[in-house]
């Protein structure tokens, strides 16, 4: 959409690009959103690529982001929900749970993504380069729990789920992505891109996989011999 806007604003600039660099590098801001668990993270996104054809780039993609959410029983596996339900029922029967009590454990998260593969680009417009890519790779998440010290129930249950107070996991992800390089000079562009992926981190705790959207924006450079 950004590329199309540029074209409408500068109709005289329509035409093919005359320089397509051999190498490509990008670094910018990223926003990682996993709405199913209400986790929003901000961080840094890095990409580097080697153009093997004018329209094909083989590259590596990495991002790291941090954010916070809260773990509730509804997110847990059925077995864990049943276990917690029985424990909470016993506590309620003993009068140890305040009326209207809701279990919620705050969590800080650090998420890293790693991917490699092809990106397909179209250089038919001078103002912008459009691209699409498969998103296949691995994701690592480090979650640290922070139960309220004044809530002994949450503290005790957290000790069952993550005795050390920290839990890490690796899992593959798959999806697709794309965006546009809005060309500022021959070598410099503003890259705007998004990826939609699916994964299932912490499958021993969480009953569902999650759909995650990553938005990122920042400067991109192309350099090296002209592949045109």
- Asked whether the beta carbons of 139 and 199 are under 8 A apart, the reply is yes
Pairing of strands 105-122, 128-145: antiparallel
Band the pLDDT of 91: cuts 50, 70, 90. confident
CATH number of the CATH domain containing 20: 2.40.160.20
pLDDT of residue 149: 83
Work out the percent of the chain whose per-residue pLDDT is above 90.
77
The reply to whether 62 falls in a domain is: yes
What integer is the mean pLDDT of 147-163?
88
The reply to whether 118 falls in a domain is: yes
The reply to whether 84 falls in a domain is: no
- Beta strand ranges found along the chain (DSSP E): 21-34, 39-53, 56-71, 105-122, 128-145, 166-183, 188-199, 210-226
pLDDT of residue 36: 96
The parent domain of residue 167 ranges over 2-75+101-223
- Measuring CA to CA, which residue among 211, 55, 172, 46 is closest to residue 118? 55
pLDDT of residue 148: 87
The reply to whether 188 falls in a domain is: yes
What integer is the mean pLDDT of 80-108?
88
pLDDT above 70 (res 125) = yes
The reply to whether 91 falls in a domain is: no
- Please tell me what DSSP assigns to residue 159: H
The reply to whether 130 falls in a domain is: yes
What pTM did the predictor assign?
A: 0.89
The reply to whether 125 falls in a domain is: yes
The reply to whether 89 falls in a domain is: no
Region of poorest pLDDT, from 98-102, 104-108, 187-191: 98-102
pLDDT above 80 (res 13) = no
Count of domains observed in the chain: 1
């Amino acid at each position: 959409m950004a590329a199309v806007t540029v074209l409408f604003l500068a109709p005289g600039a329509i035409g093919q690009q005359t320089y397509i660099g051999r190498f490509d590098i990008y670094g910018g801001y990223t926003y990682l959103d996993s709405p199913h668990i209400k986790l929003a993270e901000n961080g840094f996104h890095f990409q580097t690529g080697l153009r093997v054809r004018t329209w094909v780039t083989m590259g590596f993609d990495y991002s790291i982001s941090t954010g916070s959410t809260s773990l509730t029983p509804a997110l847990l596996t059925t077995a864990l929900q049943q276990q917690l339900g029985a424990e909470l029922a016993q506590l309620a029967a003993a009068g140890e749970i305040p009326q209207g009590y809701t279990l919620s454990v705050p969590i800080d998260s650090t998420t890293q993504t790693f991917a490699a593969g092809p990106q397909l680009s179209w250089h038919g417009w001078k103002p912008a380069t459009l691209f699409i890519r498969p998103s296949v790779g691995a994701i690592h998440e480090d979650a640290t729990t922070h139960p309220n010290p004044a809530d002994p129930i949450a503290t005790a249950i957290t000790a069952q789920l993550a005795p050390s107070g920290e839990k890490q996991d690796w899992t593959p992800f798959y999806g697709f992505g794309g965006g546009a390089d809005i060309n500022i000079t021959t070598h410099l562009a503003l890259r705007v891109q998004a990826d939609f992926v699916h994964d299932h981190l912490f499958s021993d705790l969480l009953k569902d996989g999650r759909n995650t959207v990553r938005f990122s924006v920042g400067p991109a450079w192309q350099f090296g011999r002209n592949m045109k």
